[in-house]
């Protein structure tokens, strides 16, 4: 890839570029001060990770870990596309994140926990203390809950230290954890717990959110009930107490099923559990994510490959040194938290900040006060948080004396305007920014600038990561010429150690979803025949940088959270009055995209606000408040093809004030005009162009 020249690029402006309303921006260069201390400042990395050196190049990441037994085969493709990394190796993830640091860093903070109430004290957890807690919990999981290597356990917890402690305790035993984002409803948790076959649910009784203590225990009861309806018995619920001295929830305990973790742990204080030496290929965890069907899929990540990849990328891209104070402002309940709060940073003996609450509680200065007070020098968050903090407190960062050396953004495309505020105001013009593009399925970053080596370009995720070779295809599998600034579907030509192993319990779906579309030969054992289909639109500029345009499938990215439209639609259909539902993304200034809901009613039912409210509540209880729709529109009928397929693309165009395109071939073209007038008013349509993901919405389902 070309090194960035320091001037504005004069590339051809493509249709897709106009569509995202961003022009090519100038380059920003990393300052000498950053380069001088960076983990990765040697440009020879490009050479080391060149395609000729694949797959052995990834030894460099695996060698960051401590192995019980070294592997004999770096990449085994004999069951393509089920990739096997570091075959023959054995290791324990918890040992790598905790035990091996004790000699040198035992008294150093592993985590600094910041509760949401500002007057509550911070809690410092050293590596030594983390070791003690993890061992006690591992003891309880093994001796009280009866969990063994290979069992699955669901964790539905907030952002408190008990969450990473429980995850690491699972990893110590080889138990596969499946963490469900704490903000998901009990129902959503129960469905995932059932899919994973968890007999044990670990939760917390309550937590702070925006100044209130939420009753989280109540969600556990719903989760157990839902799992049971799905055919999965959960026989133990282990409940952490948010407060040492009192319950945070009034919801009663169920004798024989519910146990208070704090009590169990104190009964077994000081117990030590030997880490179980695991096969490199043993699953480490499941992380459920949304896709093109109504059922969330459990992305299965393995131990050796995953841990190598997150350790390597945390070192090179996050530039974490043991002396840094690193704050990733994501929730551990998402993949970013797994890879870049827990496993990657701890593998490198980092000190990490864990913050319980919302960014703007009690005001928009909170993050900067935390950064100042704790000496945070690496910061990591999402475009939505950046936009929100900018909107409510654009001058706040200037009031505090923190100093960031590098900052990350992840989860959604970031518009240059927000990027520039992040750089100039939050980063004081001196912090390097990495815009990291990747997905739950990927384990770690796929595209990002290497912070000391590559110039930054606002709005671009940058070049591919070392050892990652992307390609952009059109719908028919023709390669879009590299560097041509034309939009298409971004794929990765090669496997890498962080790629998921499979979808839990559904190998066919794994192949169908990610590989079938562009596979060159289904019987091939050669990785070159199996490009990974990411489900994102992207274009590559002449300098080799990728701009990610958003999802090309039925997924809506709300504030960096992935929601499947089919899941939302099934939630709407639980309302008895609703006959049909269609959910589409609508552009939102703060959250990137939010769902817009269209429903048609059963014959004889009249539209009413009560029905709209029911639809909103159904979405909140079956999924989460994060999925709350912008509007619920009751329409006389859905626009449909003659074969009866709902044309979501047409509805997406209407919701976003765009032209609907030719609808004359639909079964009911008149209804389009009716809906358009209802939503956009009687005036003319405002725009022909629009964001790529909205224009193509619902077209590319696999």
Q: Is 374 in the site for ligand WTA (CB under 6 A)?
A: no
DSSP notation for 126-173: EHHHHHHHHHHHHHIIIIIS---TT-EEEEE--SSTHHHHHHHHHHHH
Provide the minimum distance between the beta carbon of 112 and ligand WTA in the complex, in angstroms, as a whole number.
Answer: 24
Output 158 or 413, the one with its CB closest to ligand WTA: 413
Output 265 or 335, the one with its CB closest to ligand WTA: 335
529-557 CB burial, b ≥16 within 10 A, e <16: bbbbbbbbbbbbbebbbbbbbbbbbbbbb
Provide the minimum distance between the beta carbon of 701 and ligand WTA in the complex, in angstroms, as a whole number.
Answer: 15
Q: Are 375 and 349 in contact (CB under 8 A)?
A: no
In whole angstroms, give the CA distance from residue 176 to residue 199: 12
DSSP reduced 3-state for 640 = strand
* Residues in 419-438 that interact with ligand WTA by CB under 6 A: 435-438
Instruction: Give the DSSP H/E element, type plus range, for residue 283.
Output: strand 283-289
Q: How many residues sit close enough to ligand WTA to count as binding (CB under 6 A)?
A: 22
Provide the minimum distance between the beta carbon of 513 and ligand WTA in the complex, in angstroms, as a whole number.
Answer: 13
Q: Is 410 in the site for ligand WTA (CB under 6 A)?
A: yes
Output 306 or 438, the one with its CB closest to ligand WTA: 438
Q: Which residues contact 323 (CB under 8 A, 6 or more apart)?
A: none
Q: Is 548 in the site for ligand WTA (CB under 6 A)?
A: yes
Q: Is 550 in the site for ligand WTA (CB under 6 A)?
A: yes
Output 259 or 334, the one with its CB closest to ligand WTA: 334
Output 461 or 635, the one with its CB closest to ligand WTA: 461
Exactly one of 242, 562, 612, 614 binds ligand WTA (CB under 6 A); that residue is 562
Output 495 or 535, the one with its CB closest to ligand WTA: 535
Exactly one of 192, 216, 217, 551 binds ligand WTA (CB under 6 A); that residue is 551
Binding mask 281-300 for ligand WTA (x = CB under 6 A): --------x-----------
Exactly one of 331, 412, 553, 596 binds ligand WTA (CB under 6 A); that residue is 412
In whole angstroms, give the CA distance from residue 175 to residue 93: 11
Output 95 or 518, the one with its CB closest to ligand WTA: 518
CB atoms within 10 A of CB 610: 8
Pairing of strands 532-540, 488-492: antiparallel
Point out which span in 163-171, 240-248, 389-397, 408-416 binds ligand WTA (CB under 6 A). Answer: 408-416
Q: Which residues contact 609 (CB under 8 A, 6 or more apart)?
A: none
Q: Which residues contact 287 (CB under 8 A, 6 or more apart)?
A: 178, 179, 298, 299, 301, 334, 335, 338, 440
Backbone angles phi, psi at 345, to 5 degrees: -60, -40
275-305 CB burial, b ≥16 within 10 A, e <16: bbebbbbbbbbbbbbbbbbebbbbbbbbbbb
Q: Are 232 and 270 in contact (CB under 8 A)?
A: no
Q: Is 179 in the site for ligand WTA (CB under 6 A)?
A: no
Point out which span in 182-190, 349-357, 407-415, 501-509 binds ligand WTA (CB under 6 A). Answer: 407-415
Provide the minimum distance between the beta carbon of 439 and ligand WTA in the complex, in angstroms, as a whole number.
Answer: 4
Output 538 or 671, the one with its CB closest to ligand WTA: 538
Q: Is 116 in the site for ligand WTA (CB under 6 A)?
A: no
Q: Are 202 and 236 in contact (CB under 8 A)?
A: no
Backbone angles phi, psi at 681, to 5 degrees: 85, 180
Nearest CA-CA partner of 553 in 571, 565, 540: 565
Q: Are 472 and 491 in contact (CB under 8 A)?
A: yes
Intra-chain end-to-end CA distance of the chain, in Å: 31
Exactly one of 89, 182, 359, 413 binds ligand WTA (CB under 6 A); that residue is 413
Output 365 or 550, the one with its CB closest to ligand WTA: 550
Q: Is 696 in the site for ligand WTA (CB under 6 A)?
A: no
Task: Look up residue 143 and give its two tokens.
Answer: 């001796």
Q: Is 109 in the site for ligand WTA (CB under 6 A)?
A: no
Exactly one of 440, 485, 565, 660 binds ligand WTA (CB under 6 A); that residue is 440
Provide the minimum distance between the beta carbon of 422 and ligand WTA in the complex, in angstroms, as a whole number.
Answer: 13
Point out which span in 160-168, 346-354, 409-417, 449-457 binds ligand WTA (CB under 6 A). Answer: 409-417
Provide the minimum distance between the beta carbon of 352 and ligand WTA in the complex, in angstroms, as a whole number.
Answer: 18
Pairing of strands 502-503, 488-492: unpaired
Provide the minimum distance between the beta carbon of 2 and ligand WTA in the complex, in angstroms, as a whole number.
Answer: 21
Exactly one of 77, 314, 381, 557 binds ligand WTA (CB under 6 A); that residue is 557
* Residues in 517-546 that interact with ligand WTA by CB under 6 A: 535-536
Point out which span in 212-220, 308-316, 321-329, 411-419 binds ligand WTA (CB under 6 A). Answer: 411-419
Q: Are 623 and 568 in contact (CB under 8 A)?
A: yes
Task: Look up residue 656 and give its two tokens.
Answer: 């976003």
Q: Is 411 in the site for ligand WTA (CB under 6 A)?
A: yes
Provide the minimum distance between the beta carbon of 289 and ligand WTA in the complex, in angstroms, as a whole number.
Answer: 5
Nearest CA-CA partner of 359 in 560, 594, 184, 568: 560
Output 95 or 334, the one with its CB closest to ligand WTA: 334
Binding mask 453-482 for ligand WTA (x = CB under 6 A): --------x---------------------
In whole angstroms, give the CA distance from residue 229 to residue 249: 25
To the nearest 5 percent, what fractions of the chain are helix, strand and coil? 30, 25, 45
Nearest CA-CA partner of 566 in 648, 493, 630: 648
Point out which span in 11-19, 111-119, 129-137, 406-414 binds ligand WTA (CB under 6 A). Answer: 406-414
* Residues in 308-337 that interact with ligand WTA by CB under 6 A: 334-336
Output 4 or 538, the one with its CB closest to ligand WTA: 538
DSSP notation for 611-626: HHHHHHHHHHHHTBGG
Output 447 or 599, the one with its CB closest to ligand WTA: 447
Provide the minimum distance between the beta carbon of 693 and ligand WTA in the complex, in angstroms, as a whole number.
Answer: 8
Provide the minimum distance between the beta carbon of 377 and ligand WTA in the complex, in angstroms, as a whole number.
Answer: 22
Task: Look up residue 562 and give its two tokens.
Answer: 């992935």
Contacting residues toward ligand WTA, per CB under 6 A: 289, 334-336, 410-413, 435-440, 461, 535-536, 548, 550-551, 557, 562
């Amino acid at each position: 890839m070309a090194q960035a020249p320091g001037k504005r690029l004069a590339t051809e402006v493509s249709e897709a570029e106009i569509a995202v309303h961003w022009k090519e921006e100038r380059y920003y260069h990393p300052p000498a001060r950053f380069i001088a201390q960076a983990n990765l400042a040697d440009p020879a990395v490009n050479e080391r990770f060149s395609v000729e050196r694949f797959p052995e190049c990834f030894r460099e990441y695996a060698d960051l870990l401590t192995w019980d037994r070294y592997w004999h085969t770096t990449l085994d493709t004999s069951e393509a596309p089920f990739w096997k990394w570091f075959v023959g190796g054995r290791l324990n993830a918890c040992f790598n994140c905790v035990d091996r640091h004790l000699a040198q860093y035992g008294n150093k903070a592993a985590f600094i926990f910041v509760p949401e109430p500002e007057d509550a004290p911070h809690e410092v957890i050293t590596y030594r203390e983390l070791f003690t807690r993890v061992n006690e919990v591992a003891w309880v999981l093994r001796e009280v809950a009866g969990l063994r290597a290979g069992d699955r356990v669901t964790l539905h917890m907030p952002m408190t230290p008990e969450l990473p402690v429980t995850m690491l305790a699972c990893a110590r035993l080889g138990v596969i954890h499946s963490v469900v984002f704490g903000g998901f409803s009990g129902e959503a948790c129960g469905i995932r717990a059932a899919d994973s076959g968890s007999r044990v649910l670990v939760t917390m009784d309550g937590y702070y959110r925006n100044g209130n203590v939420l009753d989280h225990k109540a969600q556990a009861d719903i989760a157990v009930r839902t799992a049971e309806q799905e055919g999965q018995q959960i026989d133990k619920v282990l409940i952490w107490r948010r407060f040492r001295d009192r319950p945070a929830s009034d919801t009663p305990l169920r004798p024989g099923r519910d146990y208070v973790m704090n009590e169990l742990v104190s009964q077994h204080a000081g117990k030590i559990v030997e880490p179980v030496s695991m096969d490199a290929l043993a699953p480490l965890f499941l992380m459920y994510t949304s896709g093109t069907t109504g059922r969330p899929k459990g992305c299965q990540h393995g131990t050796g490959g995953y841990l190598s990849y997150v350790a390597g990328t945390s070192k090179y891209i996050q530039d974490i040194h043991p002396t840094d104070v690193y704050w990733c402002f994501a929730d551990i309940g998402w993949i970013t938290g797994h890879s870049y709060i827990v496993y990657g940073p701890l593998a490198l003996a980092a000190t990490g900040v864990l913050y319980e609450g919302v960014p703007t509680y009690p005001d928009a200065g909170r993050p900067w006060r935390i950064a100042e007070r704790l000496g945070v020098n690496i910061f990591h968050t999402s475009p939505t948080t950046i936009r929100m903090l900018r909107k409510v407190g654009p001058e706040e960062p200037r009031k505090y004396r923190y100093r960031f050396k590098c900052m990350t953004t992840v989860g959604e495309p970031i518009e240059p305007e927000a990027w520039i505020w992040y750089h100039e105001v939050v980063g004081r013009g001196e912090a390097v920014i990495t815009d990291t593009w990747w997905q739950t399925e990927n384990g770690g970053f796929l595209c990002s600038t290497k912070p000391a080596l590559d110039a930054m370009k606002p709005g671009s995720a940058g070049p591919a990561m070392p050892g990652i070779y992307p390609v952009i295809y059109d719908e028919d599998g023709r390669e879009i010429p590299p560097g041509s600034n034309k939009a298409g579907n971004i794929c990765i030509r090669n496997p890498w150690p962080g790629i998921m192993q499979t979808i839990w319990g559904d190998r066919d779906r794994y192949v169908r979803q990610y590989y079938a579309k562009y596979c060159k030969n289904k019987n091939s054992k050669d990785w070159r025949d199996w490009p990974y289909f990411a489900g994102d639109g992207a274009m590559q500029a002449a300098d080799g940088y990728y701009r990610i345009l958003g999802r090309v499938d039925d997924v809506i990215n709300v504030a960096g959270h992935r929601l499947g439209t089919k899941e939302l639609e099934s939630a709407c259909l639980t309302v008895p009055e609703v006959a049909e539902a269609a959910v589409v993304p609508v552009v939102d200034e703060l959250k990137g995209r939010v769902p817009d809901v269209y429903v048609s009613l059963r014959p004889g039912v009249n539209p009413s606000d009560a029905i709209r409210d029911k639809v909103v509540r159904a979405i909140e209880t079956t999924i989460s408040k994060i999925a709350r729709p912008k509007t619920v529109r009751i329409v006389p009928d859905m626009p449909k093809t003659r074969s009866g397929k709902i044309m979501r693309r047409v509805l997406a165009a209407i919701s976003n004030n765009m032209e609907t395109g030719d609808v004359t071939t639909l079964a009911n073209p008149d209804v389009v005009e009716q809906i358009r007038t209802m939503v956009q008013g009687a005036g003319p349509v405002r725009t022909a162009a629009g964001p790529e993901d909205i224009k193509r919405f619902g077209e590319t389902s696999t």
